[in-house]
């Protein structure tokens, strides 16, 4: 196409709008309603503000909604256009307060900027004005509709991208306004999830975050970083005034594409919380007292020497952290291995995806998410099982809903009627712990209908015959009975999945946290291989990792059986490689202990010295009564954290660490993407970055370390970790890399197992359905399943200190079906006693039919009324050692 | 209006049946709301929530449509709902005078329901009968080309329990 743009002749060969063409040619066009988030096809979907007008053959056209065509002559600047745009602004300000001098967003307001550009001092159309009460009902932001210019960006981001569909334009004409259902307050909507994406896209001051600090845009600086909540790895700017984070803005990251959830957007307020640890603490006469770093280091070093000489390496264990950076975790496991001479280093990945690592390693050869998050948009059928995605990985939940809006079909299987059921073509409310039966049932129907990918199976896998044999007995009728669902739904789901060109599976702890977790994961792998849905874009087996850096903590060797990069500790060549690289002798060649085993060995007084970095097992681990008793039996407990957590409160030495906003480093998200964490503010008091603490302490303990900065650590990681072989801080400045990154020329890996599985041929691992360890009995007639909720993160050490979040969800609760509640005579909000074979707690009831009859659900976040006082630490998956956190038999009593 | 109370299960059953019989649910929102208002007499939040759930859309979208069209109402109507058109043609032809006459005659303002629940008055935009301007709708009946004073006798007819033209 030949296009004339402001007199310049251009040759363009792709479809685009005039606005896109102008931007490509560095011509600035003013826009208010336009959003870059819309795809090309939807570019002009909104087109309501009329500010982006340009001239085509003497006529004004909105550039955002007009496609270019051959021979088009476009003029972007002349008096006619200037006056037209000026009139648009004039009309907008006719019903907009001109209080810029006190407006919170002055300096960050597009209307203000354009009025300046177009010399609009006020309106020439004085008349009626709208006056609304300011709506403060939402905990995180307020709505000042007088300032709203009805650009509908908020409605679009909420409906099309966040896909919550909470916002609408209510009324008509002059009375039009942005509203939630029934014009309730923004905080009173039953649909809104407080993600704040509407606030982020508001071009004026109509939707404004509630902030304790008054700030002007020009007083702030913006530091791009990675969100520290959950494994999605959203990219965002921390907006900083002085030494305080005052706001967060979403960035166009590979995974989040300009979206954030409530935790990412508003959950930063823990950073400068007065509860932050600011000095080391040492227990003296039973009480934790402030101490100097030297004192703390000396004490740890001397306790280390004592335990080593008295008992030896078996006296030690360490818990690494899925919240700390890759560099922190690398140094941590290096300390445990090179100084404590043991492989007993683990972290809470054991409690979430240990069975993924074992299950996928056995079938595919690599235990990570096979495909990237962005590929959700190209998949035809998405099967979500055992993942409450919209709450636990909110932005991935939104990406799935976006895909469904674009025509993808969604299959959901979960014991609770989770949010995604509303978007599902088939939703199956299965009994907890029946995943394997369901997966076998789906494969039974697929084989029955000859929908398996014979070519893929023949060329790329082993062992399908055995699977065929096993599947025979898993008829839809039998499976329906086991799972408590309709046989028809199984058939419908299987046909959808089997017929899809590109199908992908997303799962989380609903599959993994079972005594048969590994088999559950293997069954998912079987389904994907059977249908040829691995090793291609838009397909895959996608375990959604929980914490921000749980992937990285595993990658960098925070596991008892592997060095960084999943290099096995039992292989002599690997051991000698690390002995050489670390300049030590005598690394252990034995597989170390897992989290649950460590607790047991402490209980048995075999482990004397435990070092915990950024974990809170006193809330997160199963059977808390047992954990507490064990920790009380320790000779020496070091806890390194940013708050005095329930676990830190039991420690002999507490070391104050820095939050993600105060340090440099990298997190690896659930799709294996290695992303930068950048320092935005100074740490409080004497707190130090985890890697600094570890590095200094290692020297004190006699292992000389020297790292000038955190990128030195990444350089060392790259030399010993083949999957991180080509990673450097320098590259991460301009590139987005997902491992394996083999060398400095390798661009990283979007999806795994292309052409060949990591282990060569894919291995079918047929698994029979086995009942959960605990079933309802007369004494414990109900089944408790645990999980997470949107607003809280892990053990609440951070989110519990965020105003708003803690007001909304301050305490432990239990979801119970209305009929069960009626049977027990329990009313909404009443306290009940919940007892399992491990212990008893008191908690508040929430009556809802989200849970099935006989099932109750509790979030595990809360230390008081803790769900994990009820869960078992002994019903373990024999391979992965993950406890069966999803199924505990309980009794509920009215208090 | 078959159903006056939104607590009555049969009303919901009737609406559900209507929705189930639709050839497609896509784009059926306005037709469903029309039916719902016919059944319930008005569209309280519970009814809109029900419609949203049945049509697999969100309540905000339903509310957006309900609040857009002046035909839909979220408050209960009188036994005899009066709608006066204030569209351009009717306005020019003196619709405002008719509003004043109604107020004077039965003490009812736009948006109100009379104390005895007998009448309610709403202003609507164009009803598509501009040639008959000014237009008033009472129940389902259209009264066009109204002249000064006529509305009073029409209302008197309804007050006696019969319509102006004996139907």
* pLDDT exceeds cutoff 90 at B6: no
* pLDDT exceeds cutoff 60 at B92: yes
Contact criterion met (CB < 8 Å) for A191 and B64: no
Residue B165 confidence class, pLDDT cut points 50, 70, 90: very low
Question: Which residue from A350, A328, A346, A339 is spatially nearest to A655, judged by alpha carbons?
Answer: A328
Contact criterion met (CB < 8 Å) for B58 and A171: no
**Minimal Cα distance from B68: which residue of A?**
A171
Chain A residues with CB-CB distance to B68 below 8 A: 170-172
Order of strands, sheet of A737-738, starting from the edge strand that comes earlier in the sequence:
A665-668, A673-677, A737-738
pLDDT score, position A47: 86
* DSSP for residue A322: T
| A179–B contact, CB cutoff 8 A | yes
Residue A227 to residues A163, A270, A341, A548, A817, Cα–Cα distance (Å): 21, 13, 34, 7, 35
**Minimal Cα distance from B67: which residue of A?**
A171
Chain A residues with CB-CB distance to B70 below 8 A: 172
**Continuous segment of H or E residues that includes residue A221:** strand A220-226
pLDDT score, position A40: 74
Burial of A584 (0-12, 13-18, 19+ CB in 10 A): middle
Q: Which domains does chain B have, with CATH numbers?
A: 5-68 (1.10.10), 80-159 (3.40.30.10)
Question: Which residue from A543, A558, A560 is spatially nearest to A505, judged by alpha carbons?
Answer: A543
pLDDT score, position A668: 97
**Minimal Cα distance from B43: which residue of A?**
A182
pLDDT score, position B41: 85
Residue A307 to residues A295, A300, A332, A607, Cα–Cα distance (Å): 18, 11, 18, 10
ipTM over 0.90: no
* pLDDT exceeds cutoff 60 at B3: no
A706/A594 Cα distance (integer angstroms) = 30
pLDDT score, position B138: 92
pLDDT score, position B1: 43
Chain A residues with CB-CB distance to B61 below 8 A: 165, 168
pLDDT score, position B166: 42
Chain B residues with CB-CB distance to A191 below 8 A: 58-60
The first and second tokens of residue A329, run together, are 């975790």
Please list the rounded mean pLDDT of every run of 10 residues in chain A (895 residues): 94 93 95 88 82 95 94 96 96 95 95 96 93 96 97 95 96 94 96 97 96 93 97 97 96 96 96 96 96 97 97 97 97 98 95 92 92 96 97 97 96 97 96 96 98 96 96 97 97 98 96 94 97 96 94 96 95 96 95 94 96 93 91 96 96 97 97 97 97 97 93 96 96 94 95 93 96 94 95 92 93 97 95 96 96 95 92 90 93 94
Residue B2 confidence class, pLDDT cut points 50, 70, 90: very low
User: Residues B90-103: what's their mean pLDDT?
Assistant: 92
User: What proportion of chain B, given as a percentage, has pLDDT over 90?
Assistant: 50
- Around Cβ B21, how many Cβ atoms within 10 Å? 7
Contact criterion met (CB < 8 Å) for B48 and A170: no
A615/A638 Cα distance (integer angstroms) = 11
Query: How confident is the model over B119-134, as pLDDT tens digits?
Result: 999 888 888 889 999 9
Residue B5 confidence class, pLDDT cut points 50, 70, 90: low
pLDDT score, position B7: 60
- Around Cβ B118, how many Cβ atoms within 10 Å? 15
The model's pTM is: 0.92
pLDDT score, position B140: 81
């Amino acid at each position: 196409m030949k296009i004339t743009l402001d007199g310049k002749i251009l040759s363009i060969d792709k479809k685009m709008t005039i606005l896109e063409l102008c931007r490509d040619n560095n011509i600035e066009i003013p826009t208010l309603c336009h959003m870059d988030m819309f795809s090309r096809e939807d570019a002009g979907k909104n087109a309501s503000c009329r500010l982006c007008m340009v001239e085509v053959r003497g006529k004004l056209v909105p550039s955002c909604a007009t496609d270019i065509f051959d021979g088009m002559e476009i003029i972007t600047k002349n008096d006619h256009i200037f006056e037209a745009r000026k009139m648009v602004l004039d009309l907008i300000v006719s019903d907009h307060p001109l209080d810029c001098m006190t407006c919170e967003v002055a300096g960050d307001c597009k209307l203000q900027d354009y009025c300046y550009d177009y010399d609009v001092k006020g309106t020439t159309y004085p008349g009626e004005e709208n006056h609304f009460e300011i709506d403060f009902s939402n905990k995180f932001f307020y709505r000042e509709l007088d300032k709203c210019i009805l650009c509908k960006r908020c409605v679009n981001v909420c409906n099309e991208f966040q896909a919550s569909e909470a916002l609408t334009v209510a009324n008509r004409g002059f009375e039009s306004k942005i509203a939630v259902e029934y014009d309730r307050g923004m905080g009173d909507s039953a649909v809104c999830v407080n993600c704040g994406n509407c606030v982020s896209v508001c071009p004026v001051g109509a939707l404004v975050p509630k902030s304790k600090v008054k700030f002007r845009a020009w007083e702030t600086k913006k530091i791009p970083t990675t969100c520290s909540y959950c494994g999605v790895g959203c990219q965002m700017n921390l907006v900083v005034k002085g030494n305080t984070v005052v706001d967060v803005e979403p960035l166009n990251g590979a995974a989040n594409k300009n979206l954030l959830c409530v935790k990412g957007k508003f959950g930063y307020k823990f950073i400068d919380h007065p509860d932050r640890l600011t000095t080391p603490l040492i227990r003296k006469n039973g009480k934790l007292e402030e101490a100097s770093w030297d004192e703390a280091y000396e004490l740890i070093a001397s306790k280390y020497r004592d335990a080593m000489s008295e008992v030896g390496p078996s006296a030690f264990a360490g818990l690494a952290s899925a919240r700390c950076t890759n560099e922190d975790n690398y140094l941590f496991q290096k300390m445990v291995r090179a100084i404590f001479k043991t492989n007993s280093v683990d972290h809470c990945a054991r409690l979430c995806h240990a069975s993924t690592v074992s299950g996928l390693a056995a079938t595919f050869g690599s235990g990570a998410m096979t495909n990237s998050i962005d590929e959700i948009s190209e998949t035809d059928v998405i099967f979500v099982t055992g993942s409450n995605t919209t709450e636990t990985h909110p932005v991935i939940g939104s990406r799935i809903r976006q895909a469904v809006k674009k025509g993808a079909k969604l299959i959901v299987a979960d014991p609770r009627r989770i949010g995604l059921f509303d978007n599902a073509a088939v939703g199956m409310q299965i009994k907890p712990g029946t995943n394997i039966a369901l997966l076998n049932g789906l494969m039974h129907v697929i084989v029955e209908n000859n929908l398996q990918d014979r070519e893929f199976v023949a060329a790329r896998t082993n062992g399908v015959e055995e699977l065929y044999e096993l599947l025979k007995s898993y008829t839809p009728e039998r499976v329906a009975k086991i799972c408590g669902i309709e046989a028809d739904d199984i058939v419908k789901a299987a046909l959808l999945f089997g017929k899809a060109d590109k199908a992908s599976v997303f799962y989380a702890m609903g599959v993994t946290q079972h005594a048969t977790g590994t088999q559950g994961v293997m069954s998912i792998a079987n389904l994907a291989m059977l249908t040829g849905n691995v090793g291609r874009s838009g397909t895959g087996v996608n375990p959604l990792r929980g914490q921000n850096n749980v992937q990285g903590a595993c990658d960098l060797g925070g596991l008892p059986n592997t060095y960084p990069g999943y290099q096995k500790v039992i292989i002599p060549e690997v051991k000698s490689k690390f002995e050489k690289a670390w300049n030590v002798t005598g690394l252990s060649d034995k597989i170390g202990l897992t989290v649950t085993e460590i607790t047991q060995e402490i209980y048995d007084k075999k482990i004397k010295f435990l070092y915990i970095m950024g974990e809170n097992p006193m809330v997160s681990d199963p059977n808390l009564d047992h954990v507490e008793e064990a920790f009380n039996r320790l000779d020496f407990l070091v806890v390194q954290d940013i708050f005095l957590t329930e676990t830190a409160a039991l420690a002999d030495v507490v070391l104050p660490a820095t939050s993600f906003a105060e340090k440099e480093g990298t997190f690896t998200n659930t799709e294996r993407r290695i992303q930068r964490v950048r320092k935005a503010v100074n740490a409080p008091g004497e707190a130090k970055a985890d890697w600094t603490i570890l590095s200094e302490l290692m020297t004190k303990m006699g292992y000389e370390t020297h790292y000038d900065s955190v990128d030195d650590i990444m350089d060392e990681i790259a030399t010993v970790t083949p999957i991180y072989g080509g990673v450097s801080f320098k590259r991460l400045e301009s590139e987005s890399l997902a491992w394996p990154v083999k060398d400095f020329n390798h661009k990283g890996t979007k999806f795994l197992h292309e052409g060949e599985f990591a282990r060569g041929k894919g291995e079918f691992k047929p698994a029979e359905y086995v009942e959960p360890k605990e079933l309802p009995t007369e004494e414990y007639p109900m089944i408790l399943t645990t999980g997470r909720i949107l607003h809280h993160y892990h053990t609440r050490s951070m989110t519990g200190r965020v105003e708003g979040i803690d007001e909304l969800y301050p305490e432990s609760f239990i979801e119970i079906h209305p009929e069960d509640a009626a049977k027990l005579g329990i009313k909404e909000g009443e306290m009940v006693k919940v007892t399992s074979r491990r212990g008893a707690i008191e908690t508040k009831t929430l009556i809802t039919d989200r849970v099935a009859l006989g099932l109750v659900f509790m979030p595990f976040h809360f230390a008081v009324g803790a769900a994990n006082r009820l869960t078992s630490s002994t019903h373990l998956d024999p391979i992965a050692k993950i406890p069966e956190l999803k199924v505990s038999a309980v009794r509920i009593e009215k208090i | 209006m078959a159903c006056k109370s939104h607590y009555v299960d049969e009303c919901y059953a009737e609406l559900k049946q209507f929705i189930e019989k639709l050839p497609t649910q896509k784009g059926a929102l306005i037709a469903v709301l029309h039916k719902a208002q016919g059944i319930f007499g008005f569209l309280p939040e519970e009814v809109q929530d029900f419609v949203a759930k049945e049509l697999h859309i969100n309540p905000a979208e339903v509310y957006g449509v309900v609040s857009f069209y002046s035909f839909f109402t979220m408050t209960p109507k009188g036994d005899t709902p009066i709608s006066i058109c204030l569209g351009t043609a009717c306005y020019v032809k003196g619709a405002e005078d008719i509003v004043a006459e109604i107020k004077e005659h039965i003490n009812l303002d736009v948006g109100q329901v009379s104390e005895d629940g007998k009448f309610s008055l709403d202003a609507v935009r164009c009803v598509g009968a501009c040639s008959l301007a000014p237009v008033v709708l009472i129940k389902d009946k259209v009264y066009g080309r109204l002249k000064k004073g006529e509305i009073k006798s029409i209302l008197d007819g309804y007050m006696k329990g019969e319509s102006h033209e004996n139907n």
